Structure 1
Amino acid sequence: MTVFAQQLQDIECLAFKVSPAPQLITSHRVMLDCNEAFLQLFGYQRDELLNQLTLLIYPSQADYKSIGKRSLDWLHDSPSDSYSDERFMQHKNGEVFWAKSHGYTLTPDDPFKLMVWHFERLNRTHHATGDLTPREREIAMLIVNGLKSKEIAKQLEISHRTVEVHRARLMKKMQAKNIVELVSKIIFVS
């Protein structure tokens, strides 16, 4: 390898490492490498993630399986080598958050063999999934993280009654009988 080629390779490695975009490289959903922004987004140290299944950053095994199937089906059936969605992810501290993800396969014949992923935390969802409004999505995210109606009202600077109305609509739309079922359906539907 020439000196120039080595310098170029070093620059590319540095660019990946310090990129402000949280990036992850996977092989068959096992984490091979990630950058500093990814570590910051999920709260882990590098050695806690490398060679681990991406299941570690999902809120549930069911979510991990359903999103994996959906993305693999898309990559097999689409002429595109990329996949994007919005989903719940989980921080090391247990906090569940809404994220936009973009994946690009480097091996189209076997899409999960080698992929590069980018994640973006969404504090306020701009695009409602299904028939949920942006405010309902925002409240759903806070419910998933265990906040009570009064805590949600305080955080969003709205009335407790308004939160209760949104919660009731969420229960109806998600056909949930109780809060545990609602949380489960919010995570698994997303």
Structure 2
Amino acid sequence: MNALAQQFQNLERLAFKLSPAPQIVTSDRVILDCNDAFLKLFGYTRQALVNQLTLLIYPSQADYHAIGKRSHDWLLDSDNGFYSDERFMQHHNGEVFWAKSHGYTLTPNDPFKLMIWHFERLDRMHQGTGDLTPREREIAMHIVNGFKSKEIALRLAISHRTVEVHRARLMKKLQAKTVVELVSKIIMVA
């Protein structure tokens, strides 16, 4: 390789590493590489992620499988090789957050063989969470992160009773009988 080609390759590598957009490169949903912004967004070290399934950044195995199937099917039927959605993701510290993801396959006939993904953390929940009100979506995000009603009330500067009313409405709307079931349904509805 000549010096100019080597310099260009080094520049490409540096651009990926330092890009402000959190990105990963995957093969069959195994992380091949990630940039510094991705490490910051998810709170991992590069060594903890490289050669690991992307399952590490999902809040549950059910979510990992459901989103995987949905994106794979979309990519197979797509002419442009691009997939985008909004979903829950999980930080290394266990915090669940709402993110927009964009994926592009480099192998259209076998979409997951080689992909590039970009993630953006969102401060709001997706409007696709059924017929939930903005306050219910806000409370749902706190429930997913394991906060109790009193903690949610303090964070949102509302009464504990108001949180309980919203929690009861969430349970009814999502037909959940337990908090564990509610969390699962919130994640899957999103």
* TM-score normalised per structure 2: 0.93
CA-CA distance at 1:126 after TM superposition: 5.7
Distance 1:80 1:132 in 2: 33
Per-residue CA deviation, residues 48-87 of structure 1 (Å, 9 max, x unaligned), is 1101111111111111111100000110112231111111
- Aligned residues of 1:126 and 1:134 also touching (Cα < 8 A): no
Q: Is the 8 A contact 2:88 2:98 kept in 1?
A: yes
1:39 has 2:36 as partner: no
2:103·2:118 contact (CA, 8 Å) conserved in 1? yes
In the TM superposition, residue 128 of structure 1 has moved relative to its aligned partner by: 4.0
**Post-superposition shift, 1:30?**
0.3
The runs of 5 or more residues in structure 2 that have no matched partner are none
- CA contact under 8 A between 1:88 and 1:187: conserved in structure 2? yes
Q: Tell whether 2:143 aligns with 1:148.
A: no
Give RMSD over aligned pairs.
1.5
Q: 1:4 Cα deviation (Å)? A: 2.1
Aligned to 1:17: 17
SS in 2 for 1:79: coil
Identity %: 77
Shift of 1:45: 0.7
For 2:184, the equivalent position in structure 1 comes to 184
- Rounded to whole Å, the distance in 2 between the matches of 1:32 and 1:144 is 29
* Equivalent position of 1:6 in the other structure: 6
Partner residue of 1:135? 135
Deviation at 1:37, TM superposition (A): 0.9
Which residue in the other structure is 2:164 paired with? Answer: 164
Instruction: State the partner residue of 1:52.
Output: 52
Q: Which amino acid aligns with 2:130?
A: G
Q: How many residues align?
A: 190
Question: Is the counterpart of residue 88 in structure 1 residue 106 in structure 2?
Answer: no
Structure 1 gaps, min length 5: none
Matches within 5 A, 1:115-126: 115-125=115-125
Q: CA deviation at 1:28?
A: 0.5
Alpha-carbon separation, structure 1, partners of 2:136 and 2:31: 33
Alpha-carbon distance in structure 1 between the residues aligned to 2:125 and 2:84: 15
- Asked if the contact 2:129–2:186 (Cα under 8 Å) also holds between the matched residues in 1, the reply is no
Counterpart of 2:167, as a letter, is R
Q: Which amino acid aligns with 1:85?
A: D
Displacement after TM superposition at 1:133 (Å) = 2.8
Are the aligned partners of 2:97 and 2:141 in contact in 1 as well (CA < 8 Å)?
yes
The yes-or-no answer on 1:67 pairing with 2:94 is: no
TM-score by length of 1: 0.93
Partners of 2:2 and 2:162 in 1: CA distance: 65
